[in-house]
């Protein structure tokens, strides 16, 4: 794998087998716990509103800004191009390609088109459908209610297929699956809009003019735009469709990009609205990632947005506090100021929330470790400790208010907060009952007081000018030992001539994933799915473990400067 080869982590994954039942819900719960842990920690690091968004051409046409954009020379070639990355070829195999080639929606759509061609005796070439998928295309995608990319708008260059598709329009008058539903005004020309139904309950809209074909996956998203109308998420106006049929390229500008150059075979741009899982306001500088493929392979890029309060990309203090041996880490710039109302909502009084806004500084980082859980990462952040005593009091008050659950077997409803005051800091800890806790209830000092099967020892510590937090107290203790020079820091392996924003340890990452998978599939409750995981997933994780450690780095001196500033991400072997 070359140093700037990208691992397209946002590429759609294979489907979850139906009927996983409670075990699938357990995995979902674990994921939600992870999000809650991250959000709870990052909730302290809010920001001023970002600089005003730039006006885009698509705003004028009433086109909702997409969450992701795929620009390709060939849709049908994309899955195989993804597998050109050695890491993905070893972990996904050809099943990844076969899945997308045999996807139910694709097969249903192809079946409907084949039936129309056959029943109406259209003189079309046999490989018409395959040729359609082999054309250059732009695909804008929007998230659905569940947060996953769902609705799409496809703009395709039909090239020499334009005339071959014309017979399809003539069958729309008497076909049950293909019908004309309206018209678009493109220049002085009336362009018909067709609805194609497939797979019994699904349908899409399409219109074509010249060498352009526009397809909308969700007919309910099409609407008439007026100058004073708001554009709902995922909405596409008839004016926008007409502009796209006229050759306007509206999508790249929304991601701060120029039109794709011919040498780029695939370009995938993913906004932070997808990757941040709804918590974008906690990391305002992060705009998105991009993956380009040319003749030399895949290349990675990170997009930054300048915020009103600026950003600090000095991640060195984060890596000095993180213990060595992490599975994966990410460092994020902290906004200089926070939104106090959320701190108040989380339990702080207004005076405490205002005081804490002046103490947050530098950058923050998250690391996951193989000897912990997926939902118990270690959070490290920077502090301005000008008034240490007052700061510790405020942190203690906030910890006591934010951390805890209703404990029906404990007087007062919560376990007491225990405190320690080492020479260079302060530590707080509270037991919290949870079936997902890393400790079993029998390990508690008073087992009968634990509600459920287990509990966490949630810990917060200030060590000098560093703030540490985790649901796993052992990670906080290890980080304190790292700062005290008793344990090697991750900084020892970080590149010295670049800004490391992401760290990946495939060996320990595979260990963590295997552990979480098997823990969620007990042999006595899910023998079938556990056997499937051991047969198919574990060998892939073993291949993953064979890769060396990598750092994703930004050029030294990088800083946000405007909207959607794209910086190259290098994959550097450690």
Please give the pLDDT value at position 470.
Answer: 96
Distance of alpha carbon 508 from the chain centroid: 21
326: left (phi over 0), alpha (psi -120 to 50) or beta: beta
184 domain residue, yes or no: yes
Cβ pair 425, 464 in contact under 8 A: yes
Residue 224, both tokens? 């008439």
Residue 489, both tokens? 């820091």
227 domain residue, yes or no: yes
Share of the chain above pLDDT 90, in %: 33
266 domain residue, yes or no: no
85 domain residue, yes or no: yes
Please give the pLDDT value at position 338.
Answer: 52
Identify which has the larger pLDDT, 484 or 562.
484
188 domain residue, yes or no: yes
With vertex at residue 207, the alpha carbon angle to CA 178 and CA 75, rounded to the nearest 5 degrees, is: 95
Least confident of 284-293, 302-311, 396-405: 302-311
Q: What is the mean pLDDT of residues 12-26?
A: 35
Please give the pLDDT value at position 484.
Answer: 95
Please give the pLDDT value at position 112.
Answer: 56
Q: Residues, the chain, total?
A: 574
Radius of gyration of the chain (CA): 27
Helix H or strand E segment including 162: helix 162-170
Residue 195, both tokens? 């609805």
Please give the pLDDT value at position 523.
Answer: 86
| Cα–Cα dist 192/258, whole Å | 30
pTM summary value? 0.74
> pLDDT tens digits for 214-249?
889 899 999 988 877 778 888 999 999 999 999 899
Residue 28, SS3 per DSSP: helix
Alpha helices in 484-547, H assignment, sequence order? 506-519, 527-532, 538-545
> pLDDT tens digits for 314-373?
899 999 999 999 999 999 777 645 556 767 777 777 777 777 767 777 788 999 999 999
Least confident of 374-378, 382-386, 393-397: 382-386
Least confident of 80-89, 316-325, 457-466: 80-89
423 domain residue, yes or no: no
Please give the pLDDT value at position 146.
Answer: 80
385-401 in b/e burial notation, b at 16+ Cβ within 10 A?
beebeebbebbbbbbbe
Pairing, β 286-294 against β 137-143: unpaired
Identify which has the larger pLDDT, 167 or 540.
540
**Whether residue 96 has pLDDT greater than 80:** no
30 domain residue, yes or no: no
374 domain residue, yes or no: no
Which residue matches tokens 């400067």? Answer: 561
| Cα–Cα dist 412/60, whole Å | 57
| Cα–Cα dist 250/75, whole Å | 19
Identify which has the larger pLDDT, 386 or 292.
292
Q: What is the mean pLDDT of residues 397-409?
A: 88
Domain count, the chain: 1
The residue among 201, 209, 177, 206 whose CA lies nearest residue 113 is 177
The alpha carbon torsion through 561, 567, 573, 574 (nearest 10 deg) reads: 0
| Domain housing 238 | 57-249
> pLDDT tens digits for 497-518?
889 999 999 999 999 999 998 8
């Amino acid at each position: 794998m070359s140093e700037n080869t990208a691992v397209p982590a946002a590429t759609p994954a294979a489907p979850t087998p139906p009927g996983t039942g409670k075990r699938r819900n357990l995995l979902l719960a674990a994921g939600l716990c992870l999000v809650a842990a991250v959000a709870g920690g990052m909730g302290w690091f809010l920001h001023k509103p970002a600089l005003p968004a730039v006006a885009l051409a698509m705003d004028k046409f009433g086109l909702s800004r997409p969450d992701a954009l795929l620009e390709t020379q060939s849709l049908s070639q994309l899955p195989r191009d993804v597998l050109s990355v050695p890491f993905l070829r070893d972990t996904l195999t050809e099943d990844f390609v076969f899945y997308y080639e045999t996807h139910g929606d694709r097969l249903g759509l192809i079946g409907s088109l084949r039936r129309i061609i056959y029943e109406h005796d259209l003189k079309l070439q046999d490989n018409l459908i395959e040729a359609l998928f082999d054309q250059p295309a732009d695909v804008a995608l929007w998230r659905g209610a569940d947060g996953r990319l769902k609705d799409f708008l496809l703009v395709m260059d039909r090239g020499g297929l334009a005339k071959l598709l014309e017979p399809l329009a003539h069958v729309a008058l008497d076909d049950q699956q293909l019908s004309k539903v309206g018209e678009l005004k493109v220049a002085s020309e009336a362009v018909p809009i067709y609805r194609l139904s497939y797979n019994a309950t699904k349908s899409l809209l399409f219109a074509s003019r010249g060498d352009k074909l526009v397809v909308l996956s969700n007919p309910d998203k099409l609407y008439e735009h007026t100058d004073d109308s708001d554009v709902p998420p995922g909405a596409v106006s008839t004016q926008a469709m007409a502009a796209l049929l006229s050759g306007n390229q509206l999508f790249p500008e929304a991601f701060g990009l120029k039109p794709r150059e011919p040498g780029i075979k695939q370009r995938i741009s993913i906004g932070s609205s997808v990757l941040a899982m709804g918590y974008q306001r906690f990391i305002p500088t992060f705009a998105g990632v991009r993956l380009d493929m040319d003749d030399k392979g895949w290349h990675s890029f990170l997009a930054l947005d300048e915020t009103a309060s600026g950003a600090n990309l000095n991640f060195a203090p984060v890596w000095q506090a993180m213990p060595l041996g992490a599975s994966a880490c990410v460092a994020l710039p902290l906004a200089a100021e926070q939104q106090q109302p959320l701190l108040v909502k989380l339990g702080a009084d207004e005076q405490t929330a205002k005081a804490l806004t002046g103490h947050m500084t530098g950058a923050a980082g998250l690391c996951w470790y193989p000897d912990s859980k997926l939902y118990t990462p270690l959070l490290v952040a920077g502090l301005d400790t000008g008034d240490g005593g007052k700061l510790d009091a405020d942190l203690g008050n906030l910890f006591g208010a934010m951390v805890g659950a209703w404990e029906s077997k404990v007087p007062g409803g919560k376990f007491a907060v225990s405190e320690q005051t080492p020479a260079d800091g302060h530590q707080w800890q509270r037991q919290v009952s949870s079936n997902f806790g890393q400790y079993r209830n029998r390990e508690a000092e008073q087992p009968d007081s634990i509600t459920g099967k287990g509990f966490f020892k949630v810990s917060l510590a200030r060590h000098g000018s560093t703030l540490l937090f985790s649901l796993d107290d052992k990670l906080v203790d290890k980080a304190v030992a790292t700062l005290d020079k008793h344990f090697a820091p991750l900084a020892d392996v970080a590149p010295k001539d670049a800004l490391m924003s992401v760290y990946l340890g495939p060996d320990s990452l595979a260990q963590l994933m295997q552990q979480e998978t098997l823990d969620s599939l007990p042999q006595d409750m899910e023998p079938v799915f556990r056997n499937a995981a051991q047969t198919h997933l574990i060998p892939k994780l073993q291949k993953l473990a064979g890769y060396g450690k990598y750092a994703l780095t930004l050029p030294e001196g990088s800083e946000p400067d405007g909207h959607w500033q794209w910086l190259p991400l290098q994959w550097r072997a450690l």
